[in-house]
Amino acid sequence: MVNNSADGRLTREGIRIHNPSDFAGMNKAGDLAARILDDVADQVFVGQTTATIDDFIRARVEEAGATSATIGYKGYQHASCISVNHVVCHGIPGDKKLKDGDILNVDVTVVVDGWFGDTSRMYVAGKLSRKAERLIQVTHDALFKGIEAARPGNTFGDIGHAIQTYVEANRMSVVRDFCGHGLGRVFHAPPNVLHYGRPGTGPQLEEGMFFTIEPMVNLGRAETKVLADDWTAVTRDKSLSAQFEHSIGITSDGCDIFTLSPAGRFHPTYHSE
Ligand code: MF3
Ligand code: CO
Ligand code: CO
């Protein structure tokens, strides 16, 4: 006889409802991912390679006795995705040196005691340009607009709508080709968490749902394409792109953010937390 009661239940859309005790596992995994990204800040400078940043992340995951969720995932070989300038997401760490003013997203997913912690944030090498600063600020704030809408009684469409409205009011575009996702004891689970949408549409949010919100925002048009390496997604118009990601869990009256930065370093200028 198999007893699945400890795993919670699935909604009719296939979204897992976790138990209150499952939040502790997600907090631990999220905290490790966030601490690693806190320390990545010191590894980002002009002349540094993204492969070296990835080596640092891999070592930190191993030291913690955790596992990287991305190494071996669909053939991916790295402990992080590092997406520079017009790379939207899934940038592959490599030997190219960072230049003054480059902006980059570093995305890390760790597995601790079977729970997945998935988070990404923006960094800058050297001096941040005014237009990149604006893009990063709008993307960061768009994530938090989505998080503010994440509570029982709202729907996934409300989250997407909050993000889209904010981004478009700032004359930037939300990427449609990639979305957030449910997670927990798996990396990618239902639902697809769209970063655009209409109020009141999509599944209802319920206490115990765990998922990411990870808006990608472009200074130019929303369209992307994937390069011949089958991973690197770039803006079609070569415009700058930014992304921030948190893993969250719906509570009775809002949400817990599992991947909060203990050092207050989530935003690249360390101001807005
Ligand atoms: N961490 C990414 C996400 O936010 C997924 C990366 S999969 C990889 O869902 F294979 F590209 F690493
Ligand atoms: Co994710
Ligand atoms: Co991620």
Q: What is the pLDDT of residues 136-151, one digit of tens each?
A: 999 999 999 999 999 9
In percent, the amount of the chain with pLDDT more than 70 equals 96
Does this model's pTM top 0.85? My answer is: yes
CA distance 122 to 241: 10
Kindly indicate the confidence band of residue 8, based on its pLDDT and cuts at 50, 70 and 90. Answer: confident
To test the pocket of ligand 1, the residue of 36, 37, 107, 193 to mutate (highest count of ligand atoms within 8 Å of its CB) is 107
Q: Please report the atom of ligand 1 found closest to the CA of residue 70.
A: 12
- If DSSP codes are grouped into helix, strand and coil, which group holds residue 188? coil
Q: Please report the atom of ligand 1 found closest to the CA of residue 245.
A: 4
Q: What pLDDT, on the 0 to 100 scale, is given for residue 168?
A: 98
Amino acid at 167: V
Residue located nearest, by CA, to atom 8 of ligand 1: 70
Q: How far is the CA of 230 from the centre of ligand 1 (A)?
A: 13
Q: Which residues line ligand 1 (CB under 6 A)?
A: 70, 73-74, 76, 81, 90, 107, 109, 118, 212, 214, 231, 245
Residue 268 has which token pair? 């690249």
Strand partners, 250: 255
Location of structure tokens 């130019």? 220
Checking if the pLDDT of 6 tops 80, the result is no
Query: Which ligand gives the minimal distance to the CA of 80?
Result: 1
Give mean pLDDT, residues 89-93: 99
Checking if the pLDDT of 2 tops 70, the result is no
Backbone φ and ψ of 43, nearest 5°: -95, -5
To test the pocket of ligand 1, the residue of 68, 81, 105, 121 to mutate (highest count of ligand atoms within 8 Å of its CB) is 81
Q: Which helix or strand (DSSP H or E) is residue 167 part of? A: helix 156-169
Q: What pLDDT, on the 0 to 100 scale, is given for residue 269?
A: 81
pLDDT in tens, 220-259: 999 999 999 999 999 999 999 999 999 999 999 999 999 9
CA distance 26 to 183: 10
Checking if the pLDDT of 270 tops 70, the result is no
Checking if the pLDDT of 175 tops 70, the result is yes
pLDDT in tens, 33-59: 999 999 999 999 999 999 999 999 999
Q: What pLDDT, on the 0 to 100 scale, is given for residue 273?
A: 39
Kindly indicate the confidence band of residue 118, based on its pLDDT and cuts at 50, 70 and 90. Answer: very high
Q: What pLDDT, on the 0 to 100 scale, is given for residue 1?
A: 38
> Is omega for the bond preceding 199 within 30 degrees of 0, making it cis?
no
Let me know: does 160 contact 195? Beta carbons within 8 Å.
yes
To test the pocket of ligand 1, the residue of 90, 106, 177 to mutate (highest count of ligand atoms within 8 Å of its CB) is 90
Let me know: does 258 contact 248? Beta carbons within 8 Å.
yes
What DSSP assignment string belongs to 199-230? TT-SPBP-TT-EEEE--EEESS-S-EEE-TTS
Mean pLDDT of the chain: 96
Checking if the pLDDT of 76 tops 50, the result is yes
Distances in Å between the alpha carbon of 4 and those of 1, 10, 27?
10, 11, 22
Amino acid at 144: F
Q: What pLDDT, on the 0 to 100 scale, is given for residue 149?
A: 99
Distances in Å between the alpha carbon of 138 and those of 12, 37, 106, 267?
34, 20, 18, 11
Checking if the pLDDT of 271 tops 90, the result is no
The separation between the first and the last C-alpha atoms of the chain, rounded to the nearest angstrom, is 48
Q: How far is the CA of 3 from the centre of ligand 3 (A)?
A: 31
Q: How far is the CA of 192 from the centre of ligand 1 (A)?
A: 14
Backbone φ and ψ of 35, nearest 5°: -65, -40
